Protein backbone atom coordinates (compact mmCIF):
# COMPACT_ATOMS: atom_id res chain seq x y z
CA UNK A 1 0.00 0.00 0.00
CA UNK A 2 2.95 2.28 0.52
CA UNK A 3 3.60 2.26 -3.23
CA UNK A 4 0.04 3.28 -4.12
CA UNK A 5 0.76 6.97 -3.46
CA UNK A 6 3.84 8.46 -5.13
CA UNK A 7 4.68 10.96 -2.36
CA UNK A 8 4.10 8.34 0.33
CA UNK A 9 6.41 5.91 -1.47
CA UNK A 10 9.10 8.58 -1.87
CA UNK A 11 8.94 9.14 1.89
CA UNK A 12 8.77 5.44 2.82
CA UNK A 13 11.07 3.64 0.38
CA UNK A 14 14.25 4.06 2.43
CA UNK A 15 12.48 2.42 5.40
CA UNK A 16 11.44 -0.66 3.44
CA UNK A 17 13.90 -3.52 3.49
CA UNK A 18 13.90 -6.97 1.98
CA UNK A 19 12.42 -8.52 5.10
CA UNK A 20 10.98 -5.63 7.09
CA UNK A 21 9.41 -2.19 7.14
CA UNK A 22 10.47 0.28 9.82
CA UNK A 23 7.33 2.38 10.12
CA UNK A 24 8.86 4.44 12.93
CA UNK A 25 11.32 5.88 10.39
CA UNK A 26 8.56 6.99 8.01
CA UNK A 27 7.58 10.59 8.75
CA UNK A 28 4.61 11.84 6.77
CA UNK A 29 5.01 15.49 5.84
CA UNK A 30 2.27 17.34 4.00
CA UNK A 31 0.75 14.02 2.96
CA UNK A 32 -2.72 13.75 1.56
CA UNK A 33 -5.61 12.08 3.35
CA UNK A 34 -5.13 9.17 0.96
CA UNK A 35 -1.47 8.82 1.92
CA UNK A 36 -2.32 8.93 5.61
CA UNK A 37 -5.03 6.27 5.22
CA UNK A 38 -2.72 4.02 3.18
CA UNK A 39 0.11 4.47 5.69
CA UNK A 40 -2.12 3.72 8.69
CA UNK A 41 -3.72 0.70 7.02
CA UNK A 42 -0.33 -0.64 5.95
CA UNK A 43 1.05 -0.18 9.44
CA UNK A 44 -1.99 -1.86 10.98
CA UNK A 45 -1.78 -4.86 8.66
CA UNK A 46 1.97 -5.20 9.09
CA UNK A 47 2.15 -4.70 12.87
CA UNK A 48 -1.31 -5.83 13.92
CA UNK A 49 -1.99 -2.38 15.35
CA UNK A 50 -5.28 -0.48 15.16
CA UNK A 51 -4.71 3.06 13.91
CA UNK A 52 -7.40 3.00 11.22
CA UNK A 53 -10.87 2.44 12.66
CA UNK A 54 -13.74 0.75 10.86
CA UNK A 55 -15.64 4.06 11.13
CA UNK A 56 -12.83 5.70 9.17
CA UNK A 57 -13.08 3.03 6.48
CA UNK A 58 -16.85 3.59 6.20
CA UNK A 59 -16.51 7.37 5.83
CA UNK A 60 -16.62 8.08 2.09
CA UNK A 61 -15.59 11.67 2.73
CA UNK A 62 -12.42 10.57 4.49
CA UNK A 63 -11.42 7.54 2.44
CA UNK A 64 -12.15 7.66 -1.27
CA UNK A 65 -13.42 4.58 -3.10
CA UNK A 66 -10.10 3.84 -4.83
CA UNK A 67 -8.19 3.93 -1.53
CA UNK A 68 -10.92 1.86 0.14
CA UNK A 69 -10.53 -0.75 -2.61
CA UNK A 70 -6.76 -0.83 -2.17
CA UNK A 71 -7.08 -1.30 1.59
CA UNK A 72 -9.81 -3.91 1.19
CA UNK A 73 -7.71 -5.90 -1.29
CA UNK A 74 -4.71 -5.71 1.04
CA UNK A 75 -6.88 -7.10 3.84
CA UNK A 76 -7.97 -9.96 1.59
CA UNK A 77 -4.34 -10.71 0.73
CA UNK A 78 -3.36 -10.66 4.40
CA UNK A 79 -6.25 -12.92 5.31
CA UNK A 80 -6.20 -15.41 2.42
CA UNK A 81 -2.74 -15.07 0.86
CA UNK A 82 -2.12 -15.47 -2.85
CA UNK A 83 -5.27 -17.56 -3.21
CA UNK A 84 -7.04 -14.18 -3.24
CA UNK A 85 -5.17 -13.15 -6.38
CA UNK A 86 -6.17 -16.34 -8.18
CA UNK A 87 -9.79 -15.86 -7.14
CA UNK A 88 -9.84 -12.25 -8.36
CA UNK A 89 -8.33 -13.28 -11.71
CA UNK A 90 -11.04 -15.92 -12.15
CA UNK A 91 -13.79 -13.43 -11.27
CA UNK A 92 -12.41 -10.74 -13.56
CA UNK A 93 -12.12 -13.17 -16.46
CA UNK A 94 -15.67 -14.33 -15.92
CA UNK A 95 -16.95 -10.75 -15.90
CA UNK A 96 -15.13 -9.86 -19.11
CA UNK A 97 -16.86 -12.68 -20.95
CA UNK A 98 -20.33 -11.32 -20.11
Whether the predicted pLDDT of 96 surpasses 70: no
Mean pLDDT computed over 71-79: 90
Please tell me the predicted confidence (pLDDT) of residue 40. 94
Distances (CA, A) of 41 to 13, 49, 84, 86, 92: 16, 9, 18, 23, 25
Nearest to 5 by CA among 63, 51, 57: 63
Per-residue pLDDT tens digits for 2-40: 999 999 999 999 999 999 999 999 999 888 899 999 999
Alpha carbon of residue 80 to chain centroid: 15
Q: How far apart are CA 25 and CA 68, in angstroms?
A: 25
Please tell me the predicted confidence (pLDDT) of residue 87. 58
Q: How far apart are CA 95 and CA 40, in angstroms?
A: 32
Amino acid sequence: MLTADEKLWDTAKDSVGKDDIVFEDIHLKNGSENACALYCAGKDLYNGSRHLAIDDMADGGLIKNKVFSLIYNAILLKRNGLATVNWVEICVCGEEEN
